[in-house]
Amino acid sequence: MTERSDLEQLRHALQQWPPGLDWQPSADQQEALGQLYAELLRGNQRLNLTRITAPAEFLEKHLWDSLAGVLLSPACRQLAAAAVIDIGTGGGFPGFPIAMTWPQGKVTLLDSTRKKIAYLEELGYRLGLSNLNFVVDRAESLGQQLQHREHYDLATIRAVGEGAVCAEYGLPLLKVGGILILYRGQWSEEDGDRLAAVSQRLGGRVLETIPVETPWTQAQRHFVYVIKDTPTPADFPRAIGIPRQHPLMPPDAGQ
Ligand code: SAM
């Protein structure tokens, strides 16, 4: 299959965006999302940005999934003009599609890999996006920096670590009232209980969990929304590497 016919397939599929998110891509957005796909295929030839390259998979796992996380929650939809941070953005997901659909928002793409962020910066420029910021750093370090700590209205995190790690990376970066979205595949009641207890230690509270089936392959997804109620204690996030090596436990687990 050639790159050109892959792009044509994606463009065709974008014209038939499924109902369910209460949002349809405009003609301009379809064009821009197609361009994002073409550019990522090109970038992938020199950098390992994403394993998801087939048009149908790209549409479902990168575009639809990225947008479903913010569009399915009424509380998040209100934050379209907000300061957003995508933690561990990798090849730019979910941050890039969010920036492209919410031009009034300011989206910071954070990753610890310099090469990926350098590429995304180039890509943002080529796509003419002016609402992106790019940061190369570790979430643990950023969460202790004055200009980033308690700065964001919305934080997204997908495929970066277990729930407790995501909470420790994300909650310190949020303003009080801000929302952290965990993009998950499987998610059990036990996962939810543990996240609720850990979030409490960080000033957060699980607002809701939305289970959903993807429209094309009926894969199970869960979007977990954690709202920040009070400032995160200064000890968090802990030093680089610690959140992943020793994920926070519920307070009664004796940590
Ligand atoms: N979010 C993207 C997605 O869902 O397609 C990429 C996920 S990729 C599996 C995880 C990314 O998180 C990698 O690009 C890695 O460099 C980044 N990462 C892991 N730990 C990090 C940390 N502590 N701070 C910042 N970035 C981190």
By alpha-carbon position, which residue is closest to atom 5 of ligand 1? 93
Which pLDDT score is estimated for 209?
98
By alpha-carbon position, which residue is closest to atom 1 of ligand 1? 89
Residue 180 has phi, psi (to 5 degrees) of -105, 130
Interatomic CA distance for residues 51 and 25, integer angstroms: 24
- Kindly report whether the peptide bond that precedes residue 237 is cis, defined as omega within 30 degrees of 0: yes
Note whether 250 and 197 are within 8 A (CB): yes
**Is residue 143 in contact with ligand 1, taking CB distance under 6 Å?**
no
The model carries a pTM of 0.96
Which residues touch 251 (CB under 8 Å, ≥6 apart)? 197, 200, 201
* Cα 53 to middle of ligand 1, angstroms: 18
* Cα 27 to middle of ligand 1, angstroms: 31
Which one has a higher pLDDT value, 250 or 178? 178
By alpha-carbon position, which residue is closest to atom 12 of ligand 1? 88
Interatomic CA distance for residues 168 and 198, integer angstroms: 8
Section 205-220 average pLDDT: 97
**Is residue 111 in contact with ligand 1, taking CB distance under 6 Å?**
yes
* Cα 157 to middle of ligand 1, angstroms: 8
Token couple for 239? 């030093």
pLDDT confidence tier of residue 67, bands split at 50, 70 and 90:
very high
Section 220-247 average pLDDT: 98
Residue with tokens 């928002």: 105
* Cα 202 to middle of ligand 1, angstroms: 21
Section 226-243 average pLDDT: 98
Render pLDDT for 20-35 as a digit per residue (tens, 0 to 9): 999 999 999 999 999 9
Percentage of the chain beyond pLDDT 70 is 98
* DSSP line for 94-118: THHHHHHH-TTSEEEEEES-HHHHH
**Which atom of ligand 1 is nearest to 140's Cα?**
23
Which pLDDT score is estimated for 255?
58
Interatomic CA distance for residues 212 and 21, integer angstroms: 11
**Is residue 139 in contact with ligand 1, taking CB distance under 6 Å?**
yes
* Cα 86 to middle of ligand 1, angstroms: 9
Which pLDDT score is estimated for 177?
96
pLDDT confidence tier of residue 254, bands split at 50, 70 and 90:
low
